[in-house]
Chain A
Amino acid sequence: MTVGEAIVVTSGKGGVGKTTTSANVGTALALLGKKVCMVDTDIGLRNLDVVMGLENRIIYDLVDVAEGNCRLAQALIKDKRFDHLYLLPAAQTRDKDAVSPEKLKEMVDELKRDFDYVIIDCPAGIEQGFRNAVAGADQAIVVTTPENSAVRDADRIIGLLEKSDLRQPKLVINRIRPHMVKSGNMLDIDEICSILSIDLLGIVPDDENIIKGANSGEPTVMNPDTPASIAYRNIARRILGDTVPLMVLEDKPGLFKKIRKWFGLGK
C-alpha cells in the first residue's frame, strides 16, 4: 500500500500567507486529480475553513478527534467542488496545548493512508502550535515575503525544521511586487535565496484576487487566469515533480534565469 505525503506549510511570522498558500496549494493539487486533505492546526485561531468557504459545515474538529469525541472520518469536511478535497478543521474555542504532537502525528499518519497529500497549515510562532504541526510532516514548505523581518523569521524556522529532521524544506516567496523589487525598495529573490539557502519552490506575486477569493471562500487557484493562481498551480506541479520554469514577473528577459537554473539543480 502506498502512503501519502504530509507537507507542513509554515513561516514563523504571521500574516505572510501560510493559510492562503495551504488553501491554494491544496486546491491546486486536488485540481490535478490528487486526493488531498488539509489540516488546520491553528487551534484557537482557525482560518483555513473560512478561506475555503467551509466554515458553516463544521461539526467536529481536530480537538474532538484528539479527545476521542468522534472518529477522524467524522470530522473531515468534504469540499463538494472537487472529487477528493477534504478539510480537518481546528477548534476555535480551545488552545494550542489541547493537542499533543504525538496525537497529531497519529492523526496525520492515519490520513496519509487514505490521501495522496496531507497539507498541514501551521500557526504562526515557534511554540507548541508549531511543534504540533511539524510532528507528523514529511516535508515542509516555508512561506516568506520579501521583507527583512519575514526572512529573519523564515531563517529561524528553517533552523528549527532542520533540528526536527525536516531537512531541505522548500521556499515559497509570497506577495512579490515586481515594480518595488525593480526599484530596489523590496528585497529581491536572489538575495532572499542566498540568505536562506534552501530550494525555491515558487514565487507568488501580490495579487488583489487573493483577498477577493479569501473573502468569498473560493481559493484563487480555482480562477485560471490571475497571476497568483498561475503561480500556485506551478507550485503544485513542482510538488508533483514536474519541472516548471519560474514565473517571469516582469517582461525583462533573463531576470530570473539564475534562479531557474538553481531550481533545476535543487529539484
Chain B
Amino acid sequence: MSAVKDLVTIKGVKDGLIFILDEHCDYEDLIRELEYKLENSHQRLLSGAEIKVHIRTSNRIMSDKDKERICGIIGRSGNLIVASIDNEPVRKRKSGLKVHTGVVRSGQILEHDGDMMLLGDLNPGGIIRTSGSLFVMGALRGMAHAGKDGDTMAVIAASYMRPTQLRIADVVSRPPDEWDISDAQMEFAYLVDGVMKIDRISQFCHVRPDLFSS
C-alpha cells in the first residue's frame, strides 16, 4: 500500500494543521480516506487543545455542499476548527479553438467562452471578448479582452497589433503608453505579475509553455 499516494496529507504548521486534499481522485474516495485518517490513524490529533485547520483543495471543482461536507467531517471531532478552505480552481480550458471569419466592425461585439481565432480584422470600435485566449490573423485595431472571467494566463496575439485597448483578466492597457509595438511582426500580449507585456510570437513557447499542452 505504500506505493499508493495519500489522498489526504496532513501537515503541521505554526498555527495549526494543513489538510492537503488530492485534486484529481474521486470525491467519495477522498471523503473515505479523510474519515479513515481522522478516526483511525490520526486519532491522537483529536485529543488535546483546539487546533486550527487550513484546508487546501487546489484545483478540484467543488460545490458549496461538497465543501460543507468536508468541513463537517473535520469539525465533528471537536477540537479541530476549520479556519480556512481555499478552493479557487483555475477554469478548465475549453478544448478546441473557435474560428470566426470576417471583419469585426465598429459597434460589433463578439463574445466566446474559450479560445478564439479570428480570420479577419478587428476594427476600431469593435470588441472581442473571450474567456480564453484570442488570436487575430489580421489587424487588431479595436478592443480585445481575453480571460474575461479572470484567467490571467490568457494571451492576445495579432498579426498586426494596433489596438485601441487591450484587456487580459482585470488588467487594462492601452498603447503606446505602456509598451512599444514593433512593425511587421506578429506579436502577443500577456500578463506578468499583473502587468501587461508585449512580445514577438516566437517567444510564446517560453512565456506560456503550458498553455496548450494538455
Contact = CB atoms under 8 A, between A and B. Distances in A.
B107 interface: yes
Of all A-B residue pairs in the complex, the 8 with the closest CB atoms, nearest first, are: A159-B105, A155-B106, A156-B106, A156-B107, A155-B105, A159-B108, A155-B123, A152-B106
B105 A156 contact: yes
Interface in B2-29: none
A159 B123 CA distance: 11
Given A152-B124, A152-B125, A155-B124, A194 B139 contact: yes
In which size bucket is the chain B interface? 10 to 19
Residue picked from B105, B124, B141, most chain A C-beta under 10 Å = B105
Given A155-B124, A195-B123, 19 more contacts: A152-B106, A152-B125, A153-B106, A155-B105, A155-B107, A155-B123, A155-B125, A156-B105, A156-B106, A156-B125, A158-B105, A159-B107, A159-B108, A162-B105, A194-B139, A195-B124, A195-B139, A195-B141, A197-B103
A197 B107 CA distance: 16
B57 to A, nearest CB: 46
Interface of B: 103, 105-108, 121, 123-126, 139, 141
Nearest to B104: A159
Interface in A159-217: 159-160, 162, 194-195, 197
A153 to B, nearest CB: 7
A153 B141 CA distance: 15
A143 to B, nearest CB: 16
B132 to A, nearest CB: 25
Contacts of B121: 195, 197
Residue picked from A155, A156, A194, most chain B C-beta under 10 Å = A155
B107 to A, nearest CB: 4
24 contacts: A152-B106, A152-B124, A153-B106, A155-B105, A155-B106, A155-B107, A155-B123, A155-B125, A156-B105, A156-B106, A156-B107, A159-B105, A159-B106, A159-B107, A159-B108, A160-B107, A194-B139, A195-B121, A195-B123, A195-B124, A195-B139, A195-B141, A197-B103, A197-B121
A266 to B, nearest CB: 15
Nearest to B160: A194
A152 B125 CA distance: 7
Contacts of A195: 121, 123-124, 139, 141
Contacts of B123: 155, 195
Contacts of B141: 195
Interface string A138-154: 00000000000000110
B208 to A, nearest CB: 30
Contacts of A197: 103, 121
A161 B132 CA distance: 30
